[in-house]
Amino acid sequence: MTKLSSDSIIYISEVMMPHKANVAGNIHGGEIIKMMDSAAYASARRYARSNVVTARIDEVEFHLPIMIGDLVTCTAQVVYVGTSSMEVVVTVDVEDLEAEGKKRALSAYFTMVALDKKGKPAHIATLELKTPEEEKAFAEGQKRYEIHKQRKTR
Ligand SMILES: CC(C)(COP(=O)(O)OP(=O)(O)OC[C@H]1O[C@@H](n2cnc3c(N)ncnc32)[C@H](O)[C@@H]1OP(=O)(O)O)[C@@H](O)C(=O)NCCC(=O)NCCS
């Protein structure tokens, strides 16, 4: 069975409220990572149609401050699949709702693992690649997957 990467796309948006911020109004990084993890979870679960857990998060780097009142949108998409694991790219866009335009604040790679009813890694559908961008993202995800595998067997 194959599935499309585009069918796994999930968007989560939220206006940032004061209880998520420090005294200067900057939103805590952990709040953003929690939103990203929720988006990755929904995307992977939609793809696998089973329970999924986060195994790994790569390349979290905050490029821009996110402030109280900003609209934060996380976009998550499965871009690579192994046997039971999926790589989900999550991007975070930030919009000041008192100005025009939005900016990319960060992106990260979440490795999510599908589990069966007994909590064991479960086989998932292979990914059908439709565009050159999807092929590129798949190849990059495969490189990271192979690096993780090599590290684990050392
Ligand atoms: C993720 C987990 C299920 C993997 O279990 P495991 O016994 O290592 O399973 P396996 O070695 O068979 O690996 C299963 C898949 O996960 C991948 N994987 C496991 N650990 C990984 C890691 N640290 N980084 C990337 N991929 C990982 C493997 O590469 C494998 O992928 P594949 O099936 O596509 O080849 C297990 O480590 C776990 O339950 N971790 C806790 C997850 C969790 O609770 N997350 C929330 C944190 S609060």
Domain extents in the chain: 2-153
- In angstroms, the Cα distances linking 6 to 2, 70, 107, 139 are 12, 27, 18, 16
Q: Is the pLDDT of residue 138 over 80?
A: yes
pTM of the full predicted structure?
Answer: 0.96
Class of domain 2-153: alpha beta
Tokens of 74: 């996380």
| Mutation choice for ligand 1 from 59, 85, 152, CB with most ligand atoms inside 8 A | 85
Ligand 1, CB cutoff 6 Å, lining residues: 53-56, 82-85, 111, 113, 121, 148-149
- Which residue's CA lies nearest to atom 20 of ligand 1? 55
For the CA of 84, the nearest atom of ligand 1: 33
Give yes or no for a contact between 70 and 99, defined as CB atoms under 8 angstroms apart: no
Q: Is the pLDDT of residue 154 over 90?
A: no
pLDDT band of residue 20 (cuts 50, 70, 90) is very high
Greater pLDDT, 68 or 151: 68
pLDDT tens figures, 22-36: 999 999 999 999 999
What span, in angstroms and rounded, lies between the C-alpha atoms of 28 and 31?
A: 5
CA of residue 67 to ligand 1 center, whole Å:
34
Runs of H (alpha helix) within 49-131? none
What span, in angstroms and rounded, lies between the C-alpha atoms of 69 and 95?
A: 9
DSSP reduced 3-state for 10 = strand
Q: What is the mean pLDDT of the chain?
A: 96
Residue 26's pLDDT is 98
pLDDT tens figures, 43-91: 999 999 999 999 999 999 998 999 999 999 999 999 999 999 999 999 9
Residue 66's pLDDT is 97
Cβ of 116: how many Cβ atoms within 10 Å? Answer: 12
- Which residue's CA lies nearest to atom 5 of ligand 1? 121
pLDDT band of residue 152 (cuts 50, 70, 90) is confident
Give yes or no for a contact between 14 and 72, defined as CB atoms under 8 angstroms apart: yes
